[in-house]
Amino acid sequence: MSKLREMRTPIFWAEGHPGPLSTQGWTVEIEGLVERPTTLTFDDLLALPKSIADARLTSVTRWSVRGKWGGVRVADLLAHVGLHPEATHVQFISYRAIYTTCIPLEVALRERTLLAYEFDGEPLDSDYGGPVRAFCPYLWGYKSAKSLIGVRLLDHSIPGYWEVRGYPDDAQILAGRMLDINTHRFRRIPDGEVIVFLDEAG
Ligand SMILES: Nc1nc2c(c(=O)[nH]1)N[C@H]1C(S)=C(S)[C@@H](COP(=O)(O)O)O[C@H]1N2
Ligand SMILES: [Mo]
């Protein structure tokens, strides 16, 4: 059983569960405002430099899970395909293209924003967004689109699945009570990326 499942991390598929997904034949299109639009296979992703982010996925529904997310930095990926100077936003497109979301390029280029294919050294299964998902610890979890088939560079933001249903496009993490999935305790967080809980600071 995977670590995420052992900890009983919630599994969200607002558009419906896709069923089992295989790395075999999986591709991610890198398109839009890039110099070299590219179709990456799962093996192509594995061949790019691997980064580990020890960080939290934090849901607007007020839970947060910490682990070592492994994958390719979006910054490294975009250096690989070349950015157009007009690009300002990165759109993530999930399997079947019903679930999409956009983040500002500036956030996408931060060091812990990944296309993640591992959690604590284990491959992500499809429940948790395998073969590969967006992972962005700086913003609410609805920006971390699962089971990615596309990454599109844009010169504007396009409201995605949850944004058209009322979740804020800026997805700033707000202070308050939060279920820590790792310890099964409710704790308080400050505004912004969850790095420490207020009751463990200082
Ligand atoms: N395709 C897809 N990606 C998604 C979602 C979804 O419903 N569908 N939910 C988002 C939300 S709101 C959160 S908090 C995280 C939850 O990730 P998990 O289901 O792996 O725990 O995935 C995000 N990515
Ligand atoms: Mo969420």
Predicted local confidence at residue 202, as pLDDT: 52
- The answer to whether the beta carbons of residues 92 and 74 sit under 8 Å apart is no
The helix/strand/coil state of 96 is helix
pLDDT digits (tens, 9 = 90+) for 60-83: 999 999 999 999 999 999 999 999
- The answer to whether the beta carbons of residues 173 and 167 sit under 8 Å apart is no
- The answer to whether the beta carbons of residues 18 and 126 sit under 8 Å apart is yes
The strand pair at 63-73 and 176-180 is best described as parallel
Taking residue 132's Cβ as centre, other Cβ atoms within 10 Å add up to 27
Predicted local confidence at residue 199, as pLDDT: 83
Predicted local confidence at residue 201, as pLDDT: 58
Average pLDDT over residues 4-8: 98
Q: Which atom of ligand 1 is nearest to the CA of 147?
A: 1
SS (H, E, C) 92-111: EEEHHHCCEEEEEHHHHCCC
Ligand nearest the Cα of residue 94 is 1
**180 pairs with which residues across the strands?**
64, 185
Residue 23 confidence (pLDDT) above 60: yes
Q: Which atom of ligand 1 is nearest to the CA of 60?
A: 14
**Chain-centre distance of CA 172, in angstroms?**
15
pTM over 0.85: yes
Ligand 1 lining (C-beta closer than 6 Å): 9-15, 57, 59, 94, 99, 128-129, 141-142, 144-147
Predicted local confidence at residue 200, as pLDDT: 75
Q: Take atom 15 of ligand 1 and give the residue whose Cα is closest.
A: 141
Q: Take atom 10 of ligand 1 and give the residue whose Cα is closest.
A: 142
Distance CA 90, CA 104 (A): 6
Let me know how long the chain is. 202
Q: Which atom of ligand 1 is nearest to the CA of 129?
A: 20
Cis peptide before 10 (omega within 30 of 0): no
Distance CA 2, CA 152 (A): 30
Percent share of the chain, pLDDT over 70? 99
pLDDT digits (tens, 9 = 90+) for 94-147: 999 999 999 999 999 999 999 999 999 999 999 999 999 999 999 999 999 999
Average pLDDT, the chain: 97
CA of 59 to the centre of ligand 2 (A): 4
CA of 48 to the centre of ligand 1 (A): 24
